[in-house]
Amino acid sequence: MEGDRPMLEVKKRLPGDRVVALAGNPNVGKSTIFNALTGLRQHTGNWPGKTVSNAQGHFTWRGQGYCLVDVPGSYSLLAHSAEEEVARDFLCFGGHDAVIVVCDATCLERNLNLVLQILEVTARVVVAVNLMDEARGKGLRLDLKRLSARLGVPVVGMSARRGEGLEALAEALDQVCRRERKYVPPVVYPSYIEEALALLEPTLTRPLAPWGGSARWAALRLLEGERWAAEGFARYQGIDLSKAPEAAETLDKILAGWEARGIAREMAAEAIATAVVRRGEVLAWDVVQGGGEHTRRLDRRLDRLFTSRATGFPIMLLLLLGIFWLTIVGANYPSAVLSKGLFALEDWLAAGLGALGTPKFLVDALIHGGYKVMAWVVSVMLPPMAIFFPLFTLLEDFGYLPRMAFNLDRCFQGCRACGKQALTMAMGFGCNAAGVTGCRIIDSPRERLIAILTNTFVPCNGRFPTMISIISLFLLGGAAGAAGSLLGAVILVGIILLGVGMTLLVSRILSATVLRGVPSSFTLELPPYRRPQVGKVIVRSVADRTLKVLGRAVAAAAPAGVLIWLCANVTVGGGTLLAHITGLLDPLGRAMGMDGVILTAFVLGSPANEIVVPILIMAYLAQGSLVELEGAKLFALLAANGWTWRTAVCVLLFSLLHWPCATTCMTIRKETGSWRWTALAVGIPTLCGVVVCMLFNLFSGGVFAPLP
């Protein structure tokens, strides 16, 4: 796949700026610190893998400019995924002036492993111990002065979400960059490794002088036999270690001596990793006091509730049901108000263009075509998104999404896929394009492709309006009010579960055919539960998610509206283009339990799924532009054109199982670097939708009785 190993670039550096890498484990608040320092709006969340590329921003302290590079979160410099490789390569070879390593005060021991590894590369480090407020809440006391003395670098306590410690961090960074610090080895290794380092390190000092990092770190990598280190020096620093004969000869002698003593290279590599971990444990025991079992008791109780086999899945379904019910109930009124206001502007805009002398054909195409479709998308899409995204973000902020991934991990492992796919699937509920981008957190390229190819089986926010409308008209059986909304939410959750089932089934088929392989193992961090910051969640979800997704949909909907208007108004051979298309697709539509008009609506609605129903109405009424109908009038129109409950079910199935929207297709092309994989991502769900609808249409007459 293209783009797995992007070159190291610092795009936003100004003359005289210092480049600072912002590193840390996933879920320690890196992005929060990045946003606080730079003022940018990078998305943050309470689950691992949020930062999937190098975000860059700028800030100034005491007249000095800093370019801050937020690298992907990682637990170690021994990378396992493409994103961890980006972090490793920038931290080791990126030519930065300093590194800020962010740690979680509530679990410092786990974070010190990365701190010690980075200290082996450079002494220009500031350790930012974040989430101090949460540590205090759990009864933990951290002696940061002692930790600073043990590490030999500044250590700053912070609560970034509250804005505490930012000035102290900037001041410490300024001191680190201004003063030359003596390199002190942070870890002492077994005697045979230290003896080898004493021999090898001097031979590397001169060849690596242009790099500016620690020759001791480079010597450790050579002793371990890590090829990526030599490749990194050649690729990013232009240093060819093969042209350092003294180092090569010394290394050969060391390895020969080890072999004579019965010491394998793999044994040395394990001893090096173990020494780092044990040093971190000793430091944590030395500087962390207080806390205890009672501070973790509530988290453990919640984990037993959310992740047990007995209650994990029922709670997950109830949470989804609650979110969708609130979305359905809450979106109706604001959607109607927004629709009325936007459509009221249509005639005003048309009259204004006409007064400017614009040809009528162009006015109709732009206003009654492009603007009308755009207004429809906004009025139908914005209210449910403004409800759905904050609710879903609250679960994310609380720390529930990793628990959902934990529950689904066994299912994905059984399909020879990666359990992290559960997280990317959850992202797809908001937008499949975002879910596809989120697949970068999956380490294995094979499993990443499986997640990308199956992400569209999760219905995005753009498909919900069509589904909700069809469910309300044909499947509620006369239920109204709160009971009807609840029943509609139950049916919608059932459809979503079918999508999850199809995701698992197709993932298993892909892993047994075109993407064969053994499922990889991974460590899924279950972060501590946190009280969501409701105000920030609402602002962030609207700004970072709702408006971005809406912007992409509007950008696709406007030109699509012009195209739809042309299809409905351009006449060829005694009929409109729309009529010709529906006639061509009608035989396939009938076989699938629908008709040609429905299939045409899905085809023309590819830029934005929200306009499928308006296109249906326009085609059935033979109008030249979209027509708004709802409730009883819409039901009467559909029923007059042969719709039954079976038709409605087939439409729901095909809405769930059909090609991804245009934005998602372009995202797949970008992520995979291949039109072949993009075509497969379009073909797989489409084939599934056609087959499932045909089978339901074939067998439903003898299995299901018509609804009263």
User: Does residue 692 form part of some domain?
Assistant: yes
The CATH number that applies at residue 148 is 3.40.50.300
Q: Cα–Cα distances in Å, from 643 out to 287, 473, 597, 649?
A: 70, 11, 12, 10
Asked if residue 343 and residue 424 are part of one domain, the reply reads: yes
User: Does residue 4 form part of some domain?
Assistant: no
What is the average per-residue pLDDT within 39-54?
A: 49
pLDDT at 51 over 70: no
pLDDT at 155 over 90: yes
Which of 271-275, 384-388, 667-671 has the highest average model confidence (pLDDT)? 271-275
Asked if residue 325 and residue 246 are part of one domain, the reply reads: no
pLDDT tens, residue by residue, 496-529: 899 999 999 999 999 888 887 666 655 666 777 7
- Nearest to 219, CA basis, from 233, 210, 668: 233
Asked if residue 155 and residue 262 are part of one domain, the reply reads: no
CA distance 177 to 197: 28
User: Does residue 465 form part of some domain?
Assistant: yes
CA distance 173 to 165: 12
Q: Which of 485 and 570 is assigned the larger pLDDT?
A: 570
- Nearest to 95, CA basis, from 210, 185, 186, 178: 210
- The helix (H) or strand (E) run that includes residue 98 is strand 98-104
SS (H, E, C) 223-248: HHCCHHHHHHHHHHHCCCHHHCHHHH
> pLDDT category, 479, cuts 50, 70, 90?
low
Asked if residue 69 and residue 197 are part of one domain, the reply reads: no
CA distance 19 to 133: 29
Categorise residue 141: left if φ over 0, alpha if ψ from -120 to 50, beta otherwise: beta
User: Does residue 135 form part of some domain?
Assistant: yes
pLDDT tens, residue by residue, 91-100: 888 888 999 9
Asked if residue 144 and residue 247 are part of one domain, the reply reads: no
Tokens, residue 323: 């979110």
User: Does residue 290 form part of some domain?
Assistant: no
Q: Which domain holds residue 67?
A: 18-178
> pLDDT category, 465, cuts 50, 70, 90?
confident
Which of 234-238, 293-297, 390-394, 641-645 has the highest average model confidence (pLDDT)? 641-645
Domain boundary among 230, 248, 275: 275
- The helix (H) or strand (E) run that includes residue 141 is strand 140-142
Asked if residue 217 and residue 87 are part of one domain, the reply reads: no
Asked if residue 326 and residue 237 are part of one domain, the reply reads: no
Are residues 645 and 707 in contact, defined by beta-carbon separation less than 8 angstroms?
Answer: yes
Q: Which residue has the tokens 């075109």?
A: 514
Number of domains in the chain: 3
Burial label for 341, CB within 10 Å (0-12, 13-18, 19+), is exposed
Tokens, residue 43: 């998305």
pLDDT at 630 over 90: no
CA distance 39 to 56: 11
User: Does residue 183 form part of some domain?
Assistant: no
pLDDT at 225 over 70: yes
pLDDT tens, residue by residue, 330-368: 777 787 788 788 888 888 888 888 888 888 888 888 888
User: Which DSSP category does 17 fall into?
Assistant: P
The reply to whether the predicted model has a pTM over 0.75 is: no
Asked if residue 354 and residue 231 are part of one domain, the reply reads: no
Domain boundary among 150, 178, 206: 178
Q: Which of 475 and 204 is assigned the larger pLDDT?
A: 204
Domain boundary among 135, 150, 178: 178
Asked if residue 140 and residue 222 are part of one domain, the reply reads: no
CA distance 440 to 387: 27
In 10 A of CB 41, how many CB atoms? 13
Transcribe 543-590 into DSSP letters: IIIIHHHHHHHHHHHHHHHHHHHHHHH-EETTEEHHHHHHHHHHHHHH
Q: Cα–Cα distances in Å, from 219 out to 120, 130, 215, 226, 318?
A: 11, 32, 6, 10, 55
pLDDT at 139 over 70: yes
CA distance 621 to 638: 10
> pLDDT category, 309, cuts 50, 70, 90?
confident
Transcribe 483-543 into DSSP letters: HHHHHHHHHHHHHHHHHHHHHHHHHHHHHHTTT--PPPP-----PPP----HHHHHHHIII
Are residues 123 and 181 in contact, defined by beta-carbon separation less than 8 angstroms?
Answer: yes
Name the least confident of 75-79, 80-84, 330-334: 80-84
Asked if residue 144 and residue 73 are part of one domain, the reply reads: yes
Asked if residue 622 and residue 596 are part of one domain, the reply reads: yes
Burial label for 240, CB within 10 Å (0-12, 13-18, 19+), is exposed
User: Does residue 185 form part of some domain?
Assistant: no
Burial label for 412, CB within 10 Å (0-12, 13-18, 19+), is buried
pLDDT of 684 reads 95
User: Does residue 298 form part of some domain?
Assistant: no
- Nearest to 408, CA basis, from 463, 462, 460, 458: 458
Name the least confident of 11-25, 34-48, 157-171, 301-315: 34-48
Q: Cα–Cα distances in Å, from 57 out to 31, 259, 562?
A: 11, 49, 39
CA distance 344 to 377: 15
Asked if residue 210 and residue 110 are part of one domain, the reply reads: no
